Structure 1
Amino acid sequence: MSIVQEDTRKIQTLVEQSCPIEDDRIHYSVPIPNTKQDGFSPVYRNAKFATSGIKSTIHPSINTLYASFSSAVNNFADEPCLGYRPKLADGTVGPYEFETFSEINKRKNDFGAGLFFILQNNPFKTDAPFHQKIDNHLLTGDDQFIVSIFSANKKEWLITDFACSSYSLNSTALYDTLGKDTSKYILALTESPVLVCTKDKLEGIIALKNEFPEDLASLISLVSIDELDLVGSAADKGLSEKARAAGLTLFDFKQVEKLGEIYPQPPIVPKPETIYTISFTSGTSGSNPKGVVLTHANAAAAIAFAATVCPMVKSAKNFSFLPLAHIYERCVSAFALYAGAALGFPQGPSPLTLLDDLKALKPNYFNMVPRVYSKLEAALKAQTINNEEKPWLASIFKKAIDAKIELQSAQDGAEGKHIFYDPLLNLLRKKIGLENCRFATSGSAPIAPKSVKFLKAALNMGLGQGYGLTETFAGVCVSPQYEANPGSCGAIAVTTEMRLREIPEMNYHADDEGGPRGELLLRGPQVFKEYFKNPEETEKSFDKDGWFYTGDIAKIDGITGRISIVDRVKNFFKLAQGEYITPERIETTYSTTNPIVSQIYVHGDSLQTYLVAIIGIDPVLGRNWLVKNEGASASEIEDDQAFLKKVNERGIKTKFLTAINANASELLHGFEKVNNALIDLEPLTIEKNVITPTLKIKRPIAKKFFEKEFKQLYDEGSLTKAQESKF
C-alpha cells in the first residue's frame, strides 16, 4: 500500500469533469495505418484515442469492482444505493425504499464473513480439494471457490455479488430457463459449495442434490434470500430437515449476515487479474453452456467504456429490470453504482408490472432489450398515432412525432427541439415514468431503425443501440443517442480494438463498397481470456495474436467507422437453384424493417427454390394491422386463437407476407424473401429449447422441432410467388 493515498472525492470530481467525453470523435472509429493484412481489414480504434492506444480503466485506482464500489461508498456514503417496493398489508406494493451506500457496504461485509463461517463450520465439509479451498482461501487469498446465485433481481443478489468481490471470491449465476440438467452441470463443473437463492428454489435444489449426490458432492450449504422461520413454521422446519438429509445446511440471508457481524473477516482485496465471475452462455448448437471467465480487469474496462458515453447524473436512479444473471445488466449496474446512482429493483420478474415500477421510480437511466421496446412502441402508438377512439388526438400526435423525426434526422446530435411539440411529448414520457430519463440503450439483439426513430421522437429523448457479448463484459460499442440515421451499433469502445476477417464463401470482403465486411475480431482489456475448464473452445476462439473471433459478421461504415452486425459465420446453406442463403442476416433484416415481426426463424431446403419461416407477430400491432387492412372488428380478434386463425388464413397471410417483404425489399434479393410462413404469437421460446436465454436460435434443434410445420408450408407452396404472378 502506498504511503500517500489519492482522495476518492478528487478522483470522482476529475472523472465527472472528463466524462462522458463530449468530443465528437468518440462516435467514430478509424483505421490504424499499416495494419491491413491479407484476408483482413485494417485494425480500427476509437477515433478519440486512435494514436494513444486503447484504455483499460477510467482511473488507475479504479481497476477492480471492489475499488469501484469502495469509491462509491466513500463518495456517496449517505445517499441511496439499493431499493425495492415493500409489500403492504393489503397485498399491494408501496413506494421505493432505499438503503444507503454505507448500509449496503456493511451488509456485504457481514454477508461475506458469514459465508466463510457457515462453510468453515459446516458438518458436511470434507477433506476433498473443493472443500479445502474454503480454509485455504482465508489463509492465502488465492484459492478461490465459487459462490452460486439463483434468483430474480433483488438487493440480495447484488449484496452477494459485492461480498464475493470484497473477499476475492468467484461468483456464478443460475437462472430458471437453464433447466434441471444444465443447472446440475454448472453446479458440478464449478464445484460450488454454496448456493444463494430465493425460497421458491430450495425444494428443487434439494431434490437435485438427492438425485445427483456424487456430481453435487461439493454443494453443502443453501442460503435463502427470503426469511425463514425455522422454529415456528412447520413448512420451513421441514425444508431444513430435507436439506440436512440431502447433506446441506440451510440458513436465511439475515442469519448469515448476523453470523458475519459476530465473526467478522477483513476483506481479501482482489487484484485486477482476480476472477470476478463465470458467466455461462448457452450455445446455439444445444450443447452444454460455456463458462466465460471474467476478471476484475475486464469489469473495470467495461466501466471505463460506459463512463465515456453515459452521462453522470447527480443523485440518479436506475431501474434494474434485465436479469442480473446476464452480463448486460451486471455491467449497467456496476457503472451506475460507481457513478453514485441508486438502483431500484422490480416488484417481480414479470413485465406486466414494468410500467407501474417505472412510474414509482422515475429513473434517469433506461436499459432494455428490443422486445421490451417493441411492446412499449405498440402501447405508445395505440395511445397516439393509432388512437382510433380519438382521431383528433391521433392527428396532433402524428404531426408532433413526424416533425420530431424530421428534426432529429437532420444530423447526428440533433435533439429536434420544438417549442410547441416538446411539452406535449414530455407529457407522454411522464405518463410512463420516464420524465427524468436522460439515457436509454438497447442491447442483446438488433432493434428496428423505424422503432428507434419513433421512440426517440415520441418520448422526446435519445436512444442508443449497443453491441457486445458475454465474452466482452457486455457492450464494446453504442450508437450516439441522437444518431441521424439509426441502425448502427456505434464506434468501437476506447477499451477495445477491432478488425474484420474476410469470409469469401459468404461474399464478405475487406474491400466491399461502403466499408469492409467480415467476421468481427476484438482485442483489448474488456475481452475475456478463457472459457472455464474448456481449453478446446478457448483455443478455437483466439488466434496467435490474441484476437477473439466473435462469430458475428459486421460491416464497418466507410465514413464513420461505426459497426453494424449483419450476419453470423457459418449460418448459410444453398437452395435448389444454387443460391447461398445466410438466414441470420435475413432474419435481422425482417426484424429491423418490420416492428410487427417480434420473432422470425427463416428456413430453407436444398430441394426447394424458396424460403419459409416461423414468424412471431406482435399482438397489438398485428391486431391493428388486421383492423386497418382487412376490416376485422376488434371484438372478432380479441381472443388469441381467433386472432391467429384469422391472420393465418391463406389470403390474409399472403397480404401480410407481401407487406413485410415490401418493407425489406431494398435490403433483400428476391430469393432471400420469405414465400410462406406459420404466424404465431411467440413460437420461439426457451421452454421449447429452440432459443438460448439470450434469444439466439438453436438452429439444429429448431429445425427438428418445426420439421412438421416446414413440411406443411412447403406442401402449401409459395404464397408470394403466386401473388406476384397475378400482377
Structure 2
Amino acid sequence: MRMPISELERRTELTPDKIYLRQPVDGQVKDFTWSGVFDQVRRLAGGFQSLGLKPGDRIALMAKNCAEWFITDWAIMAAGMISVPIYPTAGEKTIRHVLSHSESKLLIIGKLDSTDALSNVLNDSGELALQTLSMPYPTVMTKLQWYKFLDASAPIESLNDPDENDVMSIIYTSGSTGTPKGVVMSFGAYHYASKQTQDTLGVTESDRVVSYLPLAHITERGVIEGPSLYAGCTVYFVESLDTFIFDINRAQPTFFLSVPRLWSKFLSNIHARVTPKKLSILLSLPVIGNLVARKIRRTLGLDQVRVFGSGSAPISPEILKWYKRLGMNISEGWGMTETGGLSCSNLPFDEARIGTIGVPLDGTEMKISEQGEVLISSPGLFQEYYQDPALTEESFTEDGFFKTGDKGEYNEALNAFRITGRVKELFKTEKGKYIAPVPIESKLAVNDLFEQICVMGTLLPQPIAVTVLSPAAESLSNEKIEASINQTLESINAQLEPHERLSGVFVAKDEWTIENELLTPTLKIKRGDIEQAYLPKLRMMTGKTVCWEA
C-alpha cells in the first residue's frame, strides 16, 4: 500500500518534468511540474517544523480550489501532521467551531469570495493562539506569506511514512443537519478511496480533470485529488465563477464530475437559449441532432469527456435521460464523508440503472436494514467522530456496519441500490401519514423552471413544494409559469399515493444560497432551516395550486 507522499515521490522520479497542476492566474496559466510540486511540498513541510509544530498537530486549511491547496495537503501529510479543511464559504460560527474543536495551531488561507467571516474570527482569535499563512493570492492579512515562507524554509529531511491506521485528516461535515461533526480519516481509508475510485473511473496518466468542487469536501479529495495522484494525470483549476466555462474549455477534461444543482443550471441555461420543444425536435433529427448535441457539448467544454459523474445529492432520472440525448451518459454516484467519498456508482454506465446509485465499489459491502436504512462496511470508513465517542458508538451496528442515515432500496433485478431520502427527513402531515420528500422532489425536477425544490408538510393537510425558479422562467409571464407548474403537478400527483399528492407549489422570491444559510457549502438544501422559514407561510396558503411569495 503506497501512501500519498510515497506516490508523489515516485511520480516525481518517473516524470519530473511532466506538468501535473495547471493554475490560471489573471487569465494566464501557471504550470507546476511533478518535481516543482514535490519541492514545494518538502519546503512547506520543513517550514511547518520550523514553526515548532509537531507530528499529530492539526493544521487548518481554508481556500478555494487551487494548486497550492493540493501542495499544502501533501505537505501536511509529509510532516506527519493532520489537515483540517474548512469550506471557503463557511460562516463565522462554523469557522470558530472547526478551529476551536480541532485545536488547530496553524491556519493556511487562500482565495475566498468573501473574507468578512474569517476576518471577524481572526480579529477576535486570541483564545485560538493561531499562526496564519497566506497562499499567493489576494486574501486576508496573515503573519506569514507563501513565497517568503517557502524561500526561508529548508526542505524537510525525513518524509513521514505513515501506518495505514494513522490519522490523515479531520474532515468536518457540511452541517446540513446541525453542527458540523469532525470525521477522522486514516491514511488507509484515503488510499482505498483514491485507488478504488481511480480503478472504477479508469483514470490514467493521459486524462485531464478539473478541480472546482470544494476540496474541503471528501468527494473532491477522493474523486479528483487522490486519483490524479495515483494515476499521474493532469489537473486544471478554475480561476473564478466568471471564467468557469472558459477554464473548462481550456482544460478539455476527459472526466467531469458535478452536482445536481449545476447539472440543472447547465440545462436551464441551454433552454434559455433554445426552447425545450424546439431543442427536442432538433435532437430527434438523425443528422442534425448529432450536430446540435455536439455543439452543446463543445460550448460547455465537455466534448472530450468520456466519463460523466453526478454526486453529493440525488438527481432527477429525467435530467439524466435528457443529458443522454446529448451523448452525455452521466453516472450517478453515492458516498459520504464517513465512507471516504465515492462508495457506490452506476459505473460503467448502464441506462437501465438510471435512477439508482448502481453497485458498491470492490471491497465495499452495502445492505438495507429492517428499518430501510442503508448500512455500509468498507476499508474507506472513517475511524471515529473527533472527540465524540458516544456518537461514534451509536453510529455503528454490532457487526461493524456504519449507519448512513440514508433510506434506501435494493433492486435485485438490476443489482443496484436506490436512495429514497434521509431517515430523519421524513415528515408527518396532519393525517398522520409519513412522507419522504426526496423522491417527490426528484420527480418535480423534470420541470426546468424549478431550480431549487423543497417538499414539506409537517402538520399540513397535504404536502406542498416550495421552489425557487430557474433562469428559464425569467422570460415567461406568470400565467405561462403557472400553466407549466399546474401541468407538472397533475402529472406528478398521478404517480403518487393519495397522502403524498401535492396540494400546491409555493414560489419563493429569493434564491437559497450559502450566504443566507439555506444551502450547505456542498449546495445541499438545509431542509430544517428552509422549513422554519416557509412553513408558517404555507399554512396560510388555501385554495391555490400556485402561490407567489409577496
TM-score (norm 1): 0.70
Q: Equivalent of 1:487, from 349, 355, 363?
A: 355
Letter in 2 for 1:433: G
> Contact (CA 8 Å) 2:79, 2:156: kept in 1 or not?
no
Give the deviation of 1:317 after TM superposition: 1.4
From the superposition, tell whether residues 450 and 588 of structure 1 become closer, same or farther in structure 2 (CA, over 3 Å). closer
Aligned positions of 1:612-691 closer than 5 A = 612-620=464-472, 622-623=473-474, 634=475, 637=476, 646-647=477-478, 655-665=483-493, 667-680=495-508, 683-691=511-519
Deviations 1:586-617 (A, max 9, x none): 333333x43432221222142x4212231122
Percent identity of paired positions between Structure 1 and Structure 2: 27
Q: Does 1:289 align with 2:180?
A: yes
Matching residue within 140, 145, 157 for 2:69: 157
1:110 CA displacement: 0.8
Shift of 1:333: 1.8
Whole-Å separation in 2 of the counterparts to 1:653 and 1:432: 27
CA contact (8 A) 1:614 1:683 kept: no
The 5 A counterparts of 1:61-80 are 61-62=1-2, 64-80=3-19
Distance 1:426 1:683 in 2: 32
Note if 1:359 corresponds to 2:249.
yes
Aligned to 1:84: 23
Question: Aligned residue for 2:81?
Answer: 169
Q: What secondary structure does 1:520 align onto?
A: strand
Structure 1: tracts of 5 or more residues without a match: 1-60, 88-92, 121-133, 138-143, 229-235, 244-249, 401-418, 504-517, 624-633, 638-645, 721-727
The alignment partner of 2:153 has SS state of helix
SS class of match (1:664): helix
From 244, 248, 258, the equivalent of 2:151 is: 258
Give the deviation of 1:467 after TM superposition: 0.5
3-state secondary structure, aligned to 1:325 = coil
User: Which residue in the other structure is 2:220 paired with?
Assistant: 329
Q: Following TM superposition, by how much is the alpha carbon of 1:682 offset from its aligned partner in structure 2, in angstroms?
A: 5.3
TM-score relative to the length of structure 2: 0.91
* 1:676 shift after superposition: 2.2
2-structure distance, mates of 1:707, 1:665: 21
CA change 1:299–1:386 in 2 (3 A) is: same
Q: Give me the whole-angstrom Cα distance separating, in 1, the residues matched to 2:461 and 2:7.
A: 56
What is the CA–CA distance in structure 2 between the aligned matches of 1:694 and 1:470, rounded to whole Å?
12
Q: Secondary structure at the match of 1:488?
A: coil
Structure with greater strand percent: 2
What is the CA–CA distance in structure 2 between the aligned matches of 1:656 and 1:709, rounded to whole Å? 23
Q: Verify the 8 A CA contact 1:313 1:364 in the aligned structure 2.
A: no
Correspondence for 1:271: 163
CA distance in 1, matches of 2:329, 2:427: 39
Change (3 A) 1:356 1:209: closer
Aligned 1:121-520 pairs, distance under 5 A = 134-135=53-54, 137=55, 144-198=56-110, 205=118, 207-214=120-127, 216-217=128-129, 219=130, 221-226=131-136, 250-261=143-154, 264-286=156-178, 288-331=179-222, 332-348=224-240, 350=241, 352-382=242-272, 386=276, 395-400=281-286, 422=290, 425-458=293-326, 460-485=327-352, 486-503=354-371, 518-520=372-374
1:594 counterpart (404, 423, 447): 447
**TM-superposed deviation, 1:295:** 1.0
Matched residues in 2 for 1:387 and 1:84: separation?
Answer: 40
Instruction: Write the mapping of 1:574-613 to structure 2, written as runs, cut at 5 A.
Output: 574-591=428-445, 593-606=446-459, 608-613=460-465
SS in 1 for 2:540: helix
| Preserved contact between residue 358 and residue 433 of structure 1 (Cα < 8 Å) | yes
Structure 2 counterparts to residues 5-16 of structure 1, below 5 A: none
Q: Post-superposition shift, 1:717? A: 3.0
Is the 2:201–2:347 contact (alpha carbons within 8 Å) kept by the matching residues of 1? Answer: no
Q: Say if 1:397 and 1:382 are closer, same or farther in 2 by CA, change over 3 A.
A: farther
- Matched residue, 1:510: none
For residue 568 of structure 1, what is the amino acid of its counterpart? R
CA distance 1:423–1:573, change in 2 (3 Å): closer
User: Alpha-carbon deviations, 1:614-656, whole Å to 9, x = none?
Assistant: 1122222x34xxxxxxxxxx4xx5xxxxxxxx53xxx666534
- Alignment RMSD: 2.7
2:206 and 2:199 map into 1 onto residues whose CA distance is 19
TM-aligned CA deviation for residue 422 of structure 1? 4.5
Q: Distance in 1 between matches of 2:283 and 2:290?
A: 11
Deviates more, 1:563-572 or 1:104-113: 563-572
Alignment of 1:98 with 2:37, yes or no, is no
**Over residues 457-483 of structure 1, what are the superposed CA-to-partner deviations in whole Å (9 max), with x where a residue is unaligned?**
21x243211001111111101113542
User: How far did residue 253 of structure 1 move?
Assistant: 0.9
1:314/1:190 CA distance change after superposition, 3 Å: closer
Aligned to 1:6: none
Higher relative contact order by CA 8 Å / sep ≥ 6: 1 or 2?
1
The one-letter amino acid paired with 2:48 is L
Q: How far is 1:316 from its partner?
A: 2.0
Cα separation, 2, equivalents of 1:362 and 1:226: 26
- Find the aligned partners of 2:157 and 2:333 in 1 and give their Cα distance: 40
Q: 1:682 to 1:479 in 2, by over 3 A?
A: farther
- 2:98, 2:196 → 1: CA distance? 30
Larger Cα-atom Rg:
1
Aligned to 1:16: none
